[in-house]
Structure 1
Amino acid sequence: MLFLLFLLASLTLPASPAQAHAAPVGASPSPGSVIGSSPSEVTVTFSEPVTPVEGRVQVIAPNGDRISGKATVEGTVMRIPVRQADKPLGTYLISFRVISADSHPVGGAISFSVGAPSERPEAPSETTGTHPSVEVAVPVFKTVGYAGVTLIAGPALFLAFLWPRGRSRAGALKTVRVGLALTAFATLGAIASYPQQGSGAPLWSLSAQELTETVTSEYGLLLTGRLVILGALAALLLPLLRRAPRTVREPARVLVGAGGPDLVRTEAKPPIKINRLRGYAVIALSAAGLATWPLTGHAVAAPMAGITVTAGVVHMAAMAVWIGGLVTLAGFLLRGTHPRVLGVILPAWSRWASIAVLWLVFAGAIQAVVQMGKVSALWTTGYGQLLIAKLAITALVLGAAAFARRMVITRAAASGLRRTVGIEVAASVVILAISSVLVQVDPGRIAATKEKEITGQGFSETLTSDLYAVQFNIYPVELGEYNTVHAFLYTPDGGPLRAEEWQVTARLTDPALEAVDQPIAGLPTGNQALGSISFPLAGTYEITFTIRTTAIDRASVKTSVTVGG
């Protein structure tokens, strides 16, 4: 029931699950630019290292032919060799689909032109998005994995250190096995869905070659390592947890329930000496297994990756201890356990929970500071808004936990304590669901990067007069002086026309300012000119081209461009 609620909560959260976490921030040739000859290589620069998806990175010529070779990556720069197109003049399209450093797919397209712009070729459909089946499956697998880790950690800690002697261990042991199975299932699902995240294919479309490439990739090796660790944990941990702790026979400290079935250990001495080597092995394996989550997510691609990965491990471990312990209490111990026995168990658990929450908050704060980038991202990005919601619910849970701790100290009625713990568990389910969505959306720092993301759109238009037609492109149309204008001059019937003189002015219309001359000069090709335009303030600008075609023939054409907010 808990798992179903968990799954339902994750699926009803309003967030797009498979958004990209890297962004293209530069390209050569520049997006929207017009160059004189076809390049032999094009490059795309991203905000973080990427891996090209085989067959999904291509350069398309104006006539629709694919003219690109195999893409390679050096750091954050992807290089694509290009052969000469049969018909080189016109608009080219760089279509790409890559995997970012945090294992998320990135797709997009950038255009440039040779000689003069033409109709933009269409991007292949497989580069434009992720199939809906994959969009649903990825967060479901994340949620199942978090649920599995929680169901392993909580019952295992109670079985090892706080389990009443007279209570059956079968239910808690079964829960640990379920947790191991769920985590393994989620990991296999992540491996199987990884190729489709890159290719854009549906979830059920998976070839043996794609699976092999995934398993041998860095991402696949990490998840395969997680499966191996889960197998080793099952072999080491379950036999240890099957053994009932030996009760310390100290009459002054022994607590016995009615009829003696609930005899438990005291806090003065450990209940059993567990094989230290096995115990250390379980701890080491658990830490290594937990590390595979941040190593395949946001943390590994963030600045100060060592710190964020460590914080991710601590955050996940603390979450699993806290929420897993609550689930164990609510599911197995709060009902049917003698109050005097609970009087020993609950204070010890309360201390453990307090320490877990402290580390949870500390590690979460480190991650938030690094991933947000700036404070305003808290309320201007989807990641920040989800984080605020998570913090608000966490605050409510902590309030309920404080109330429960007070009830433990004052030895309040078990029924009231059960209700309070139930509230904590229900709210914790929502927290985990939000967490499974958080790892799928762009962190605040990436959202800030995407404000500078290249689009290749710019502003293009053709203006006509009785003397000529001028076709031009302004890129990138943003505040400042670094906006390039490239213009082409033609006769009214479409033939190239040489200009004797070019002049361009820009005038802000609201508030109305005087027109300002912008630097532009004709190119040796005769019918082309290149220059720059400055937009010092946000608003609508009137752009005027005044072109002299002969010693006496001159004409002006105008258009409007909106810049900024």
Structure 2
Amino acid sequence: MIAAVSRPLGAFLLAVGTLAALLLGATPAAAHATLTGSSPGDGEVVATAPAEVVLTFSEPVSVADDGLRVLDPDGERVDAGEVAHRAGGAEQAVALASGLADGTHTVAWQAVSNDGHPIAGAFTFSVGAPSETSVAVSGEAPDEGAVGLVYDVLRYVAYAGFLLLVGPAAFALLCWPAAAGRRAVQRVTVVGWLTLAVATAALLLVRVPYTTTGRLADAFDLNGLGDVVDSRAGTALLTRLVLLSAAALPVALLHGRYARAVAAGDATVARDLRFGLGVGGGALAVGLAATWAMAEHAATGRQSGVAVPVDIVHLLAMACWLGGLTTLVVLLRADGERPPPATAVRRFSALALGGVATLAATGLYQSWRQVGTFSALTGTDYGRLLIAKVAVVALLLSVAWASRRRTNALPGDAGALPGPRAGEDGADAEPAERAAAAVGEGAAGGGEGSDGPASPPAAAPDPERERQLARQRRVMESARRRRDEDPARAGLRRSVLVETAIAVVLLGVTTALTGTPPARTESDRPPAAAQETGGDAAPAGPISLPYDTGGEFGSGTATLELTPSAVGDNTLHLFLEDPEGQPNGAEEIRISLTLPDEGLGPLRFEPEHVAVGHWTVEGLQLPRPGAWELDLTIRSSEIDQTTETTTVTIAQ
């Protein structure tokens, strides 16, 4: 089957392979739900141990019992293990063991957002005072790396299978009934069904490592598969497999009983079967499209009750347009068979025009819902992908317009019949081919059915019969050559092939869009530092403080350099200079930091003396961003000292 399909679908499959290769360099998509807060907060220092850790998300998420862990400074778990789901899933909490020791504790979490994308992260909080910890948690989501790449490729293949399954059926039922009997079209439909079924089953297996461990080897973990099936995305994939099983019957009817009724000219049976296939097959197509709409972007965010049916219509319009376009390519390039008549091409042109209009309307609504503002359109990955999609669609429409002009230039179909028999073999054949067939029948008239005696087996070849057969071959070859050299048909074949190649790229951009956080979500999320400090935060540069202890080393200037001036480990360098700019000494240096807005501190540090006039503090841990007050105490003798105060801004 693959060998038979490879030639008419060569360009299509080559484009698919090229796009899949390009995906090797793509980065995995970010998740769509975000952690908006926690108790205790990231980097917070609390006086007493909390009874539980609570995480708050921007939307409901799913967290397994092992998806929220709290580790003490030695890396031992100190949580109860069972996760409590609150506020409809937007809050996730885990109880902590009693008697929690002082020091820095690490919270590692992993969840699955409502649209099926995994998210993960980690943060720390301290009891009493910060301390060193042996815990190293990356906080990376499991969908990164090879697992994310495989999952994205399978999603693309599933979309392609859906187009190849629905498109040929729509073409045969709405544009050219005789296409149902064409072997090349039958193969495209079967390839689409098999592609979608295999990709869906593989997606169901890969979701285990995609949402949990990030290791492809865990794809056959039956326990994890049970958890996946219970999730929204897993249920959608399982439902898709059930619907595909049911779709096998209408596919068989379309290319079996219906195709035979059309070929035999049985208009009544063909009409009844067309109605049944339209209703039953249409319902299954809607159900298949819903397995995407109910588990991805449309099911989350505002107006989901409107967004889900709009997304279903969007997918069906794309399938009729792009899947039908692939069917037309196969029919135009099939060897040894007549191309579709001009009436069929014009019908598909009208169908494609309606599909494009539907895509424009539904896409406009989706864009408004997911983008919201112009700044979000240009300042987020989702917005930029949407711009790229619009550009590809514009290019595709320009080529489609050229195809439509060539379609209008096609000659009429003298023998075409309306209704189910419009595409019956021989009905719309070229006049020269019908003449050649008549010559062939006349040449055979002197044979078995003639009144004369039958030629003996060993008789010499009849020269007249040979001339008739040669004339028949010349007429048929001339008709085929005129058909292939017709500028309108040749131009149509080329433009439709270009349309299909562009459509493959469009499908890839669409797949990437469904795996990228909506622009509205990204633009509404404030920068990390601004979230924590309530305003802009910038790393502090060198700070100079004049001081005067009144002692032997009386006065001078203290210069403080804190790097990187961010939450976590920092390094502080302190330089003292006398009024002449020479290194100045001191008996003792003390530093303390306080965050008044959150009641943290003072955190006290004793700098290490490095050289004359130079002190340093390594591993200066600051748990929270914001405007910290730094108190610098300089003692130059037993009784002479001063304390200078300044403010340093700590970024997230």
- What TM-score results when the alignment is normalised by the length of structure 2? 0.69
Alignment partners' CA distance in 2, 1:357 and 1:299: 20
Aligned to 2:7: none
1:133 CA drift (Å): 2.3
Aligned to 1:235: 249
The answer to whether the 8 Å contact 1:25/1:47 transfers is: yes
What are the within-5 Å matches in structure 2 for residues 209-220 of structure 1?
209-220=223-234
Alignment partners' CA distance in 1, 2:387 and 2:272: 44
Alignment partners' CA distance in 1, 2:147 and 2:499: 32
Distance 1:61 1:379, change over 3 A: same
Distance 1:489 1:432, change over 3 A: closer
Aligned to 2:478: none
Residue 60 of structure 1 aligns to which amino acid in structure 2? L
1:11 CA drift (Å): 4.1
The answer to whether the 8 Å contact 2:78/2:97 transfers is: yes
1:20 CA drift (Å): 1.4
The answer to whether the 8 Å contact 2:180/2:259 transfers is: no
1:176 CA drift (Å): 0.8
Aligned to 2:601: 487
1:358 CA drift (Å): 0.7
1:349-400 CA-partner distances (Å, limit 9, x unpaired): 1110000011111111211211123221222112211111111011010111
Alignment partners' CA distance in 2, 1:114 and 1:389: 49
Aligned to 1:561: 649
Counterpart secondary structure, 1:71: strand
1:157 CA drift (Å): 1.6
What are the within-5 Å matches in structure 2 for residues 12-27 of structure 1?
12-13=22-23, 15-27=26-38
Distance 1:552 1:47, change over 3 A: farther
1:50 CA drift (Å): 0.8
The answer to whether the 8 Å contact 1:102/1:297 transfers is: yes
Aligned to 2:394: 395
1:197 CA drift (Å): 1.5
Alignment partners' CA distance in 2, 1:122 and 1:81: 20
Residue 156 of structure 1 aligns to which amino acid in structure 2? A
Higher RCO (CA-CA < 8 Å; seq separation 6+): 1
Counterpart secondary structure, 1:30: coil
Aligned to 2:117: 104
Aligned: 1:137 with 2:225: no
The answer to whether the 8 Å contact 2:172/2:179 transfers is: no
Aligned: 1:244 with 2:259: yes
Aligned to 1:3: 13
Aligned to 2:583: none
Aligned: 1:370 with 2:369: yes
The answer to whether the 8 Å contact 1:43/1:80 transfers is: yes
| Ranges in structure 1 where 5+ consecutive residues have no aligned partner | 248-260, 476-482, 495-529, 535-541
Distance 1:139 1:337, change over 3 A: same
Aligned: 1:291 with 2:304: no
Larger Rg, first or second structure (1 or 2): 2
Find the partner of 1:72 among 84, 107, 128: 84
1:174 CA drift (Å): 1.7
Distance 1:91 1:83, change over 3 A: same
Distance 1:563 1:264, change over 3 A: farther
What are the within-5 Å matches in structure 2 for residues 218-367 of structure 1?
218-242=232-256, 243-244=258-259, 272-274=271-273, 276-333=275-332, 342-367=341-366
Alignment identity in percent? 29
Alignment partners' CA distance in 2, 1:473 and 1:298: 44
Distance 1:8 1:166, change over 3 A: closer
The answer to whether the 8 Å contact 1:126/1:199 transfers is: no
Distance 1:77 1:552, change over 3 A: farther
1:56-100 CA-partner distances (Å, limit 9, x unpaired): 3101112322111222222311111111355x2111111101111
Deviates most, 328-337 or 89-98 = 328-337
Q: How many residues align?
A: 497
1:300 CA drift (Å): 1.1
| Ranges in structure 2 where 5+ consecutive residues have no aligned partner | 1-9, 411-486, 533-565, 575-585, 609-622
1:560 CA drift (Å): 4.2
Alignment partners' CA distance in 1, 2:164 and 2:27: 27
1:15 CA drift (Å): 3.6
Residue 45 of structure 2 aligns to which amino acid in structure 1? V
Structure ranking higher in helix proportion: 2
Alignment partners' CA distance in 2, 1:201 and 1:473: 41
Aligned to 2:465: none
Deviates most, 121-130 or 312-321 = 121-130
The answer to whether the 8 Å contact 1:131/1:200 transfers is: no
Residue 486 of structure 1 aligns to which amino acid in structure 2? L
Alignment partners' CA distance in 2, 1:172 and 1:103: 34
Aligned to 2:50: 39
Counterpart secondary structure, 2:271: coil
1:484 CA drift (Å): 3.5
- What TM-score results when the alignment is normalised by the length of structure 1? 0.79
1:491 CA drift (Å): 7.6
Residue 382 of structure 2 aligns to which amino acid in structure 1? Y
Find the partner of 2:59 among 26, 43, 48: 48
Aligned: 1:447 with 2:522: yes
1:218 CA drift (Å): 2.9
Distance 1:125 1:452, change over 3 A: closer
